[in-house]
Structure formats: C-alpha cells, structure tokens
Chain A
Amino acid sequence: QKEVEQNSGPLSVPEGAIASLNCTYSDRGSQSFFWYRQYSGKSPELIMSIYSNGDKEDGRFTAQLNKASQYVSLLIRDSQPSDSATYLCAVNTGFQKLVFGTGTRLLVSP
C-alpha cells in the first residue's frame, strides 16, 4: 500500500469553478501535511501547509485535514487557467522527511 495516495487525474474544471483535490495517507502518526504545485518542467512550489484538523484558508486556496479519516484535501476557488498544474500532496512521517504522492494533474479550461 502506497503511503500517500492521490488520483492522478486529469481533473478537468471550467474557469471559475471550485477544484477539489484529495489525498489519503497511511501513517496514522503523521503530523504535518503540505500541498505543492508543479508546473510542467518546473520544480514543486509550496502553496499550503496544515498541521491540525479542520480548514486553513489562504486566498483562493483552502486545505482541509481530517486525521481520523487520514485524509487531506485542497480546494481551489475561482479556478483560473493559470492554476493548471500538477498538485503534489506531501506528508511528514517523522524525522524531517516528507513522503510525496504522485500528484493530481489539474486542467482548468477557459
């Protein structure tokens, strides 16, 4: 069983819609969770971090964490074509290391 799982997509949404990206993880002791955005040919860029259950909002982005269900999600409101990228979920499983999912490709159509 993979430690961090994401649907590879592509997830297609029209411009202005809400994009919902999901991630599940297997290590119940995980404490911190991150979302990265990666444009094609570029390196990952950190966009959100979340440490406690509930929602965390930053601009058009909201991260949601449910530790009981071992589930973390990223909502992107008012999606723009420039949001088209691969979104990586990462989980800290101990000793400073992160385990990354393989990413969900998001396509926002004008």
Chain B
Amino acid sequence: DVKVTQSSRYLVKRTGEKVFLECVQDMDHENMFWYRQDPGLGLRLIYFSYDVKMKEKGDIPEGYSVSREKKERFSLILESASTNQTSMYLCASSLGTGYNEQFFGPGTRLTVL
C-alpha cells in the first residue's frame, strides 16, 4: 500500500511565523502535490512537483513556497503565516507516467493566531 505521511496532524502558529509542513511518501512516486481544503471551497492545489527540484504553481500559490530536494519528500513553506492561511493542508502523491491516481496523507490542520 502507498503510504503518505505528514509531519503533524495539528499545528498552531502565530501570525508572521515561518511554517514548515513536511510530506513523505514511500512508493517511489514521481509526482507530489500540496492542497488546502476549506469548507465550501473544496480542494485547491497550491503547488505540485513532478520531479526532484522541479515544481509548478497550482491555483493558489501566493504566500507559499515548496521544496523537493529528495524524491520522497515534499515540503510546503509558509514564509510569513497569516490568519487566512488557517486551513487543512493535504499532501498527495501519484506514480506519474499516465497513472494519475493520487494518494493522500492524513492532513495537517493548521491554525494561525
């Protein structure tokens, strides 16, 4: 089974703090994704990566950056957290090369005070 893990289930941070969310997958998947999920808005893609050190902006990249130094690990960085970044953050991975099924980690519920 594909396993996607995220560094924290719950996180509370202060406005202006730099926040790191980490995601690790153990199935040698090519693609990794970061989403946020908010009530009524569904899943929105923040960034995705299709290879080590490669990244593409998603629909809502403002205020976020990402890092993928190793194939299995994809980090989401909030450079200066704001209250409107309070959300559920979901990491996913997919095999790539035509196999588009995405498998999700358990999610991190981030609260910015």
**A contact residues vs B (CB 8 Å cutoff):** 32, 34, 42-46, 49, 88, 90, 92, 95-98, 100-103
Point out the residue from A42, A46, A97 that lies within 8 Å of B101, measured CB to CB.
Answer: A46
Tell me whether B106 and A96 are in contact (CB under 8 A). Answer: no
Complex A-B, nearest 10 residue pairs according to Cβ-Cβ distance, in ascending order: A102-B42, A43-B104, A100-B43, A92-B100, A43-B107, A96-B31, A44-B104, A32-B100, A43-B106, A100-B42
Q: List 14 A-B contacts (CB under 8 A).
A: A32-B100, A34-B100, A34-B101, A42-B107, A43-B107, A44-B90, A44-B104, A46-B101, A46-B102, A46-B103, A92-B100, A97-B58, A101-B42, A102-B42
Q: What CA separation (Å) do A43 and B93 show in the bound complex?
A: 13
From DSSP, what is the main secondary structure of chain B's interface residues? Answer: strand
Tell me whether A96 and B41 are in contact (CB under 8 A). Answer: no
From DSSP, what is the main secondary structure of chain A's interface residues? Answer: strand
Interchain nearest-CB distance for B17 vs A (Å):
24
Residues on A with beta carbons closer than 8 Å to the beta carbon of B90: 43-44
Residues on B with beta carbons closer than 8 Å to the beta carbon of A42: 106-107
Residues on B with beta carbons closer than 8 Å to the beta carbon of A45: 104
Tell me whether B48 and A96 are in contact (CB under 8 A). Answer: yes
Residue among B48, B50, B101 with the highest chain A CB neighbour number at 10 A: B101
Confirm or deny: B45 has a beta carbon within 8 angstroms of a beta carbon on chain A: yes
Confirm or deny: B96 has a beta carbon within 8 angstroms of a beta carbon on chain A: yes
Tell me whether B102 and A102 are in contact (CB under 8 A). Answer: no
Assuming the contacts A32-B100, A44-B104, asked whether A97 and B48 have C-beta atoms less than 8 A apart, the reply is yes
Interchain nearest-CB distance for B35 vs A (Å):
8
